[in-house]
A and B are shown apart, each in its own frame.
Chain A
Amino acid sequence: MTHQIELSAVNKYYGAYHALKDIDLSIPKGSFVALVGPSGCGKSTLLRSLAGLETISSGDLVIAGKRMNGVPPRKRDLAMVFQSYALYPHMTVEQNLTYSLKINGVRKAERKRAAADVAAITGLSNLLHRYPRELSGGQRQRVAMSRAIIRNPQAFLFDEPLSNLDAALRVHMRKEIRALHDRLGATSVYVTHDQVEAMTMADHVVVMRNGVIEQQGKPLDLYDRPTNRFVAGFIGSPAMNFIPARSTPDGRALVLDLAEPQTVPFDCPLPAERALIVGIRPEHLTLAGADAAGFKVGVAAVETTGAVTFITTATTPEIVVALNGRAAVMAGETIRLTFAGGDVHLFDAETDQRIK
């Protein structure tokens, strides 16, 4: 497989601040990669380093087989969609779209044809002569996308392109961007703080924190096998529950450290007598039948959307349970919960790393 973008041991410092720490990342041609993490995690810095808007302090950055470390943005042949769209306010939509072509010396007739072609794809055909201030938020977003598409670049860079849209439009554009990507056979790098966007759009998700790549892989791999507690808590919504626990000496049961310790038998092999963090997603908890194994919790609140019922427990730490359909549970009751051993993620209490 050929790699369109390759980063090895990339570091970035702002003075004494270490913004990117030993980043290794390979992006295959034609893939859609999402960089996701909380704000300040370095995802935008990484994207801007790819674009050439930031210079990396050390390491190698290779785009389409060429080392690009000190190369200015204009010679990298990448297109970028900015969070604010960055449409040139003094140019019409058509001029915005064809600006890069103009700079690269493409003839006027050809530029016009290219703009018409792209506008037909993105549905901007009747807006070409408007100015950005005359467009709605969604239309501006399309112009920003089109301006990138027209270039036919080595890769597309997206910097939180949907965060200025309302929720409904965001869901719609998610699909549209992914469809465009597939249709153009492009390589895309997409920065977002929204893990749902990352999970639904990308082939490959890179989770970052404090300038470090915590984990990267296919979306469902990250969901199923998070390598540490941070990734586990970041991916999935509502977030995973974490309960401090200890394994019994025989390694066949867990003692959950809720208000009062509760022992739950465990059907998978456990390391004996060890301090653990038990991670379990809300959707993997179920109400236990009268005779099944489980643990008792008080109910603090019950919320329902109709399709799903969320139960928040009165324990410390608080546990969230997501039940399909409706449940006859009321706040103040005591219920018993259970889970399947295969759905449980175990993390070391000291290091927060996943235990096999």
Chain B
Amino acid sequence: MSENARNRLLLALSIVMAAIYLFPLYWMYVTALKSGSEMFATPPSFWPSSAQWSTFAYVWESRNMGRYLWNSTVIAFGAVALIAMLGTGCAYVLARYRNIWVDIGLFLILMFQVLPASLMITPIFVGFSQLGLLEYPRLAVILAITAKSMPFFVVLVRATFMAVPMELEEAALVDGNSRIGAFLNIVLPLARNGILVSAILIFMQAFGEFVYSKSMIQDIQLQPASVGLNSFMGPNTSEWNNIMAYATMYVTPILAIFVLLQRRIVSGLTSGALK
């Protein structure tokens, strides 16, 4: 078999595998486009007979999705901004030195990273309610997400900083920079891409966050899209085409970002997770 034919066969095989793996995603899109009766047809159709685009507008209006997505965006942006502000410097210091204190710091970071949100929510909820923070529920969720996700950000960005040669910073110091100047003028610009990719990953996580929002935000006006989806799915719902339309509008922006930046996200993720 020639090299070319082999490659084509492998490519076809892998596309089939990807198609099987990504079938649930396809099913979401197809269901969203089906009519109420077609959805429950047996056998199910794998291609909508007449695409019901109006479902999207209907769901957007009736579920007030604009508000939900806005809240999700506010929470995600708030968390990413706070995480980037606090986490970048931390990652830089943990990348720059190797000593026992850095090892201890990394261990602590890891321990904070692995704490499950569903276990931490009990003390955070009680503590926040005592501090009166639940009066500002979105802020409370932003703070909780920051504590949960910053360690992951630090681990990813640290790997980026490790790739910036120490001599560059030293050269900048000898050239007349203060530590702050060298950090801002030389180190940060060189680590910019890695920081950006990590921030996008954190944004995607925060955009879909559920436990904290569900537990701390009672006011429907302030709830994010994940909580909205949860309340949409009652135990005996039959509106699956509407729910899938909701899900489609919720995840498509995230999927678009991911597909566009896929290479960078994957390499950023692998460099951080195993090192």
Asked if A52 and B171 sit within 8 Å, CB to CB, the answer is no
* Complex alpha-carbon distance, A88 and B167, angstroms: 10
B175 interface neighbour in A84, A89, A90, A103, Cβ under 8 Å: A103
> Do B165 and A74 touch across chains, with their CB atoms under 8 A apart?
no
Taken residue by residue from 154 to 189, chain B's Cβ proximity to chain A (1 for < 8 Å, 0 otherwise) reads as: 000000000001011011111111110100001001
B229 within 8 A of A: no
Q: State in angstroms the CA–CA spacing of A89 and B189 once bound together.
A: 10
B190: interface (CB < 8 Å): yes
Number of A-B contacts (CB under 8 A): 57
Residue of A nearest to B181 (CB): A103
Interchain nearest-CB distance for A98 vs B (Å): 10
Instruction: Pick the residue among A53, A90, A147 that contacts B173 (CB under 8 A).
Output: A53
CB distance from A55 to the nearest CB of B (A): 13
Is A297 an interface residue when CB atoms closer than 8 A count as contact? no
| Chain B residues closer than 8 Å to A157, beta-carbon distance | 174
Establish whether residues B176 and A86, one from each chain, have CB atoms under 8 Å apart when the complex forms. no
Within 8 A of B (CB), among A82-115: 82-84, 86, 88-90, 99-100, 103-104
Determine the distance from Cα of A271 to Cα of B256 in the docked complex, in whole angstroms: 88
Contact status B177-A82, CB under 8 Å: no
Contact (Cβ within 8 A) A74 B171: no
The residue of chain A having its C-beta at the shortest distance from the C-beta of B170 within the complex is A53
Q: Given the interface contacts A82-B167, A86-B167, A88-B168, does A51 sit within 8 Å of B186 by beta carbon? A: no
Contact A99/B173 with A84-B165, A88-B168, A90-B190 known, Cβ cut-off 8 Å = no
Contact B167 A74 (CB under 8 A): no
**CB nearest neighbor in B for A78:** B174
Chain B interface residue count, Cβ-Cβ cutoff 8 angstroms: 17
Instruction: Let me know if B176 and A84 touch, CB within 8 A.
Output: no
- Please, which residues of chain A bring their CB within 8 A of the CB of B173? 52-53, 72-74
Q: In the complex, A73→B171 CA distance in Å?
A: 10
By the criterion CB–CB under 8 Å, are A88 and B186 in contact?
Answer: yes
B96 to chain A, nearest CB (A): 13
Q: Name the residue on A nearest B99 (C-beta).
A: A15
Residue of A nearest to B190 (CB): A90
Which residues of chain A from 291 to 324 have any CB-CB distance to chain B below 8 Å in the complex? none
Q: How far is the CA of A74 from the CA of B186 in the complex (A)?
A: 15
| Cα A147 to Cα B186 with chains together (Å) | 16
Q: In the complex, A79→B174 CA distance in Å?
A: 6
A213 is an interface residue with CB less than 8 A from chain B: no
**B174 x A51 contact (CB < 8 A):** yes
The verdict on A276 contacting chain B, using a C-beta distance below 8 Å, is no
In the complex, chain A residues whose CB is within 8 Å of the CB of B168:
86, 88-89
A residues 56-93 in Cβ contact with B at 8 Å:
72-74, 76, 78-80, 82-84, 86, 88-90
CB distance from B214 to the nearest CB of A (A): 44
Instruction: Tell me, in angstroms, the Cα distance from A103 to B167 when the chains sit together.
Output: 18
Among residues of A, the one whose C-beta sits closest to the C-beta of B166 is: A86
Residue of B nearest to A81 (CB): B171
Cα A84 to Cα B179 in complex, Å, equals: 21
For B167, give its contact among A52, A72, A84 (CB under 8 Å).
Answer: A84
Give the Cβ gap from B194 to chain A, nearest Cβ, in Å. Answer: 14
- A residues 163-211 with Cβ under 8 Å of B? none
A99:B174 contact, CB within 8 angstroms:
no
In the complex, are the beta carbons of A100 and B178 less than 8 A apart? Answer: no
* Residues of chain A contacted by B172 (CB below 8 angstroms): 88, 99
Contact of A99 among B175, B178, B179 (CB under 8 A): B175
A80–B171 CB distance below 8 A:
yes
Q: Point out the residues of chain A lying under 8 angstroms from B189, CB to CB.
A: 90
Question: Is the Cβ of A100 less than 8 Å from the Cβ of B175?
Answer: yes
A211 to chain B, nearest CB (A): 20
Are A74 and B170 also in contact (CB < 8 A) when A86-B165, A88-B186, A90-B190 are?
Answer: no
Question: Residues of B contacting A99 with CB < 8 Å?
Answer: 172, 175
**Quick one: closest B residue to A90, CB to CB?**
B189
| CA A86 to CA B174, docked complex, whole Å | 11
Q: Cβ of A86 and Cβ of B171 under 8 Å apart?
A: yes
Chain A min CB distance to B183 (Å): 13
B170 to chain A: which residues have CB within 8 Å? Answer: 51, 53, 73, 80, 82, 86
12 A-B residue pairings within 8 Å (CB atoms): A52-B174, A53-B170, A53-B173, A73-B173, A74-B173, A79-B175, A80-B171, A84-B167, A86-B171, A99-B175, A103-B177, A104-B176
What residues make up the interface of A, taking CB atoms closer than 8 Å to B?
51-53, 72-74, 76, 78-80, 82-84, 86, 88-90, 99-100, 103-104, 147, 151, 157
CB-based closest 10 A-B pairs: A86-B167, A100-B175, A86-B171, A73-B173, A103-B176, A74-B176, A80-B174, A82-B167, A73-B174, A100-B176
Which residues of B approach A to under 8 Å, CB–CB? 165, 167-168, 170-179, 181, 186, 189-190
Starting from the known contacts A72-B179, A74-B176, A147-B175, 18 additional A-B residue pairs (CB-CB under 8 Å) come to A52-B173, A72-B178, A73-B173, A74-B173, A74-B174, A74-B178, A78-B174, A80-B170, A80-B174, A82-B167, A82-B170, A83-B167, A84-B165, A88-B186, A90-B190, A99-B175, A100-B176, A104-B176
